[in-house]
Structure 1
Amino acid sequence: MSSNQFIVASPPTDAISALKFSPDPNSARIVVSSWDKNVYLYDLRDENGSVGEGKLLQKFEHRAPVLDVCFGEDENVIYTAGLDWDVKKIDLNTSEQTVLSSHEAGVRNVVYSREHNIVISASWDSTLHIHRPDAGANPDSIATIVPLPSKPFSISLTDSRLVVAMASRALHIYDLKALALLSAEADSSVPGGNRVEVEPWQRRESSLRFMTRCVACMPDGAGYVSSSIEGRVAVEWFDPSPESQARKYAFKCHRQPAEDGVDVIYPVNALAFHPVFGTFATGGGDGGVSFWDGISKRRIRHYPKHDTSVSAVAFSGNGKYLAVAISPGFEDGKDDVAEGAVQIYVRELGETEAKGKGAK
């Protein structure tokens, strides 16, 4: 382990489903959701302000495995989603938990839009719920329900767009302003008044032939990348013009050559964009993490492989740190998680470590 990389103290005891840095670029807080039914809040800074292994500040128990977590309006509010079917708001100052809405199946993802002050959850009941956080404590407030054509696997957003990657290679892109307006206008006092049909801004079919594992939007809002269970990543742009669509491409990654000449292929479990340079990281079932320049179509970094799957990756708000969650996955064919197998590594990046080849 290099001197600029460290392991976070007191990791979860079961697989990590999501990991997020505080949106404050001056903060070193991270939240982590786990299959051990808990959400963890860490501060990576010590008493002197230096970033290191950090300490566990709080742990919030849920009724079932937690599949996703995100920060909200500031770093004192988080939202969680999981197999208890609930979408929760947690006030970190008071530890108060509020159920914003309940789906009819497990909730795979939750994201917060700062620009429109809405929380969006995606569930395996094939719906999106659009929540207004300021109405969350009102028992009469019910989230706006948007039906989906297929089960969602991953969602991501920009300042103005929401990308929903689903089963059957379906992909919807929504206008966030339209979703926010619908949420404000929905009438929860009328039966079915909170369930609305929403025409997506765009409907697409995934460029990847196999099931989508993850999707992540570019920080400049120009497009997104998606990954599949079959060791591939696609890079696409929102602009529907033929010229822009001609730029999209896909590439192979997270594969290992075998003696018989046939590659061993791993799923690409995690994607994250660098907030400054616009390059992105991939984490795979092979235990590897790589950096890519989507514009020049090049791999710019590849780190030594970990012993087990990478389940989540995240950059800090200032782009100086990369957090990598290591969790045994289905690739290992094991149900039991050995003690110490789940870890969070944080790497301090050099000034040009995540910089693209063509960047100035």
Structure 2
Amino acid sequence: MSNQYEVSEPPTDAISAIRFSPYADSHKFVVASWDKFAYLYEISDNKQCTLLNRFEHRAPVLDACFGKDDNEIFTACLDCDVRRIDVATSTQDVLSTHDAGVRSVAYSKEHSLLISAAWDSTLHIHPTSADAEWSTATITLPSKPFSLSMSPSKLVVAMSNRALHIYELSTLAEECKNTANALQNRLDIEPWQRRESSLKFMTRAVDCMPNDEGYASSSIEGRVAVEWFDPSTESQARKYAFKCHRQPEGEVDVVYPVNAIAFHPIHGTFATGGGDGVVAIWDAIAKRRIRIYPKLASSIAAMSFTSNGKILATAISPGFEDGKEDMAEGSVAILIRELGENEVKRKAK
């Protein structure tokens, strides 16, 4: 059986993102919060979670991720800045400034690219290698981006109006090099695929499969869609959507937004977190739920697995689904769950 414990020094305001280091044997994770800080924690072997540092910003931090190693963190801020943090020295550098708040950042170690998405309906493509011969490039999107996710070869951008763009990272990297001297480095690049979400309502989150084959997306209306990149008719026929995160109250089901999706890095199963305070584990291939965990004190805000898949971190914050706007004691928290051997594994047929 698994066991779960709470992080002792959580943020003081709503949590917008949580991300474990993707590097082997690392138990460090970064948390973005509306209290204007990015937090760096580490889990030790004796089940202690230590706050290593916190990095102040000028406005709420909406997303954060690790860069080339655990010493490099990138943040997305409501003040329009994309920042690089050097953990060893606590110094911050502004990589670029959008024209509106920055919603998401994602780093590709395969291509040494940092990509930010902002509410000005642009992507900024940042080179992160020291020998890069080009500076930040900009891609204009057709609508406002809500969520970003990367697989080893693809970037998925989920936007308003149920639009999804899929880019090939190798193409982005090549186009950026080719247009190094273009006017303002604006790229007129077509996505590899344009899709309309299978979900009828606004997209809340997207996460890519670790095997580079597809992605899952969620909506504000308690549904999740699972799709594959392969554009062939046969592969597209496999896509499906399902209802989840609905709680019976009397004779009706109350529907909650699915705020977070996280694929397990080893087993290819995935976790969803809802406004109902519940985390569920799903088998994407068998199309069934594997497990549901006890309801937590408030809405699930974000989730992340360690690179070895043995720990799941869950951030909770008030989602105000109940109409109350006060922040109750214990409603902002980070829960660390040590996973049992078969807890998130696909079940044999």
Fold conserved between structures, TM > 0.5: yes
Hey, what does 2:240 align to over in structure 1? Answer: 249
Q: Which consecutive segments of 4 or more residues in structure 1 shift more than 4 A?
A: none
Q: In structure 2, what is the equivalent of residue 174 of structure 1?
A: 167
Question: What are structure 2's unaligned runs of at least 5 residues?
Answer: none
Residue 183, structure 1, aligned to residue 176, structure 2: yes
1:242-321 → structure 2 map (5 Å cutoff): 242-259=233-250, 261-321=251-311
The match for 2:337 is: 347
Which of 200, 204, 215 does residue 213 from structure 1 map onto? 204
Partner of 1:105: 100
Question: Does the 8 Å CA contact 2:2/2:339 hold for their aligned counterparts?
Answer: no
Query: What's 1:12 paired with?
Result: 11
Q: Is the 8 A contact 2:297 2:330 kept in 1?
A: no
Are residue 230 (structure 1) and residue 221 (structure 2) matched? yes
Give me the whole-angstrom Cα distance separating, in 1, the residues matched to 2:348 and 2:96: 45
Contact 2:2 2:337 in 1 (8 A): no
Contact 2:33 2:61 in 1 (8 A): yes
Instruction: Report the Cα distance in structure 1 between the residues aligned to 2:87 and 2:159, rounded to whole angstroms.
Output: 32
Contact 2:2 2:338 in 1 (8 A): no
Alpha-carbon distance in 2 for matches of 1:333, 1:262: 18
State how 1:117-132 maps to structure 2 within 5 Å. Answer: 117-132=112-127
Inter-partner Cα distance in structure 2 for 1:336 and 1:134: 44
How far did residue 337 of structure 1 move? 2.0
- State the number of aligned residues: 349
| Identity score, percent | 63
Could you tell me which runs of 5 or more consecutive residues in structure 1 were left unpaired when the two chains were aligned. Answer: none
Aligned partners of 2:127 and 2:135 also within 8 Å: no
Q: Distance in 1 between matches of 2:50 and 2:282?
A: 31
Residue 357 of structure 1 and its aligned partner are, at CA, apart by: 1.8
Aligned: 1:96 with 2:95: no
Alpha-carbon offset, residue 185 of structure 1: 2.9
Q: Measure, in 1, the Cα distance between the counterparts of 2:348 and 2:149.
A: 26
Note the aligned Cα RMSD (angstroms): 1.7
Contact 2:2 2:340 in 1 (8 A): no
Post-superposition offset of 1:193: 3.7
TM-superposition CA deviations, 1:119-141 (whole Å, max 9, x none): 000011000000012369x9x97
Aligned to 1:33: 32
1:332–1:135 CA distance, 2 compared to 1 (3 A): farther
- Is the counterpart of residue 155 in structure 1 residue 154 in structure 2? no
Paired position in structure 1 for 2:111: 116
Structure 2 distance, partners of 1:311, 1:240, is 32
Residues 249-307 of structure 1, C-alpha deviation per residue, up to 9 Å, x if partnerless?
Answer: 00000001121x22100000000010110000000000000000000001000000012
What is the DSSP-based 3-state SS (H/G/I as helix, E as strand, rest coil) of the residue aligned with 2:262?
Answer: strand
Question: How far apart in 2 are the matches of 1:73 and 1:50?
Answer: 27
User: CA separation in 1, counterparts of 2:198 and 2:2?
Assistant: 39
Partners in 1 of 2:176 and 2:347 — Cα distance? 42
Partner Cα distance (2:324, 2:125) in 1: 36
Cα distance in 2, alignment partners of residues 172 and 294 from structure 1: 21
Partner of residue 315, structure 2: 325
Q: Counterparts of 1:258 and 1:23 in 2: how far apart (Å)?
A: 40
Distance 1:203 1:336 in 2: 40
Contact 1:187 1:193 in 2 (8 A): no
8 Å contact from structure 2 (residues 262, 272) kept in 1: yes
- Give the TM-score normalised by the residue count of structure 1: 0.94
Which residue in the other structure is 1:42 paired with?
A: 41
Q: CA separation in 2, counterparts of 1:342 and 1:199?
A: 40
What letter corresponds to residue 232 of structure 1 in structure 2? Answer: R
Aligned partners of 1:99 and 1:185: how far apart in 2? 24
Deviation at 1:234, TM superposition (A): 0.3
Report deviation, 1:331.
Answer: 1.1
TM-score w.r.t. the length of structure 2 is 0.96
What SS is found at the alignment partner of 1:128?
Answer: strand
Contact kept? 2:134, 2:176, Cα under 8 Å? no
